[in-house]
Structure 1
Amino acid sequence: MGVLRTGLLSITFRSLPPAEVVRLAAEAGLDAIEWGGDVHAPHGDRAAAAEAARLTREAGLTVRGYGSYYRLGVEGQPFGFEDVLASAVALGAPAIRVWAGNRASAEADDAWRERVTAEARRVAETAKAEGIVVCLEYHANTLTDTCDSAIRLLREADSANLRTLWQPAIGLSAAERLDELTRVSPWLEYVHAYYWVDGERRPFAEGAEEWERYLRAVRELPGERHAMLEFVRDDAPGQLLEDAGALKRLVRDIECGSIE
């Protein structure tokens, strides 16, 4: 039986400066932040990453991960994995998020899969030297757009330092999503938490019954796992406070065993 923690993806509030993101996360009573590499901690900008880390620590929060936008196997990116790793080190992040290419699994031939898999293995081993795990974004239009494809990639990369994130896939039922979560759980690092209905962002409290099933499954895993909030309705700070309250109540009830 593991431990559940809570957190926030900084990209939830891309328009706000890092200090304000930290203030909101602390006010919401969350435990951690995943810092995004697109705005708040740009890839390769060690100074920005170090400042985000300082703000996080001083607020009594932890850095859960570095949300990079590095795409495995894709040429011509404006930054390399070395830049990503430098930022993660400056942040003191224990995990780096990367994307499994830029093609849907249904459109990927064997050569493409081999290319993405080989680079996944390479970056995982590179990050290992810094004590950082590499995690795959669980997302459409990549090789993690289905559970079967994600597991194939993880198995073929065959690196203990390669993990995956998880988030509810659009178009699946709650039961199907739970099945996917259970199947990828041997590689699970943490989850991105939000609640959508027909593509519309909704208050997290409306999805509490569904998320109780997911988080109960996550808690069955050994160690510590975070549920990291993102996609709050209308990008509203007030909605974050409401969503965080709902998430924390859910975690508390699961931890205390009051939900049967």
Structure 2
Amino acid sequence: MFQIGLCSVTFRNLSVEEIIEAAKNTDIQGIEWGGDIHVPPGDLEHAAYAANITRQAEIDIISYGSYYRLGVKEQPFSFEAILDTAEKLTAPAIRVWAGNIGSSEATERQWEKVIEDAKRIADLAEKQGIHINLEYHGRTLTDTADSAIRLMKKINHSSVSLYWQPSPFETVNKNVKSIDTVRQWLSHVHVFHWQLVENNVIVYPFSAGISDWEKYLQQLEKQQGMCYLMMEFVKEDSIEQLKNDVKVLQSIITSYSAK
């Protein structure tokens, strides 16, 4: 049920062509193209080009990783521009963020704005056959499993799903439990092994996180259907490190497939 993907934001310093080459050389099966560098909103010609060469490389386009924040008035790009770009990219889904404030700090009105906007963009995307995936992330309304559940229930839209990733602020056991909590809305997973140390992100080789990710995959394998495990960030932004990290992830997946 697992396939291995790559978030293009992992290598913001590389071109679209270089990322595709790296993906081919590491047995990556799909790419989430980011909207900040590689496929900017509004550049429809470039989006179509990225779609074409990704398909030629026989790599799936998992989604369009936008930085649209639900319920936020002032943004660099409208959702409509993002949707047009996702169409040209032939992306089946668009990743968005659940606002710009943590669930414990948000007012009821801020919750309402996020919910209303989620329903609005989901309706727009659904007309184009495109799904909406919410980033599971700190300082948004999906910063905990409980807040994510509350939000998804309020949105209550068949075209809206949820990504998952381990929280650096929680224990491994609590992260494992969160998977089961959000399971019915879960689509794909961002994979990494890093920690916050004095407000600095320290990225480790994925091999240092084997014991954690064995637990996560054991819980994730209960998921119905195909789930992309998208590698996101590698130590020193190294393609060689990506190759090693993917091999480690593949070995974990293979060990579960053999059971």
Aligned to 2:240: 238
For residues 86-235 of structure 1, the aligned pairs below 5 Å read 86-198=84-196, 199-235=201-237
Q: What is the TM-score with the length of structure 2 in the denominator? A: 0.96
Matched, 1:47 2:45: yes
Deviation at 1:196, TM superposition (A): 1.6
Deviation at 1:139, TM superposition (A): 0.7
**CA distance in 2 between partners of 1:57 and 1:256 (Å):** 30
Cα-to-partner distance string for 1:204-240 (whole Å, 9 max, x where unaligned): 1121121122122222111100100011001111111
**CA distance in 1 between partners of 2:44 and 2:109 (Å):** 35
Aligned residues: 255
SS in 1 for 2:82: helix
**CA distance in 2 between partners of 1:88 and 1:52 (Å):** 11
**CA distance in 1 between partners of 2:195 and 2:40 (Å):** 32
SS in 2 for 1:106: coil
Equivalent AA in structure 2 for residue 98 of structure 1:
V
Deviation at 1:25, TM superposition (A): 0.8
**CA distance in 2 between partners of 1:208 and 1:30 (Å):** 19
Cα-to-partner distance string for 1:29-66 (whole Å, 9 max, x where unaligned): 11100000001000122112111111211111100011
C-alpha RMSD of the superposition: 1.1
**CA distance in 1 between partners of 2:11 and 2:184 (Å):** 31
2:145 and 2:182 in contact (8 A); partners too: yes
**CA distance in 1 between partners of 2:94 and 2:193 (Å):** 24
Cα-to-partner distance string for 1:151-203 (whole Å, 9 max, x where unaligned): 11100011111111011111111100011111111001100000124542111
Aligned to 2:20: 22
Q: What is the TM-score with the length of structure 1 in the denominator? A: 0.95
Aligned to 1:62: 60
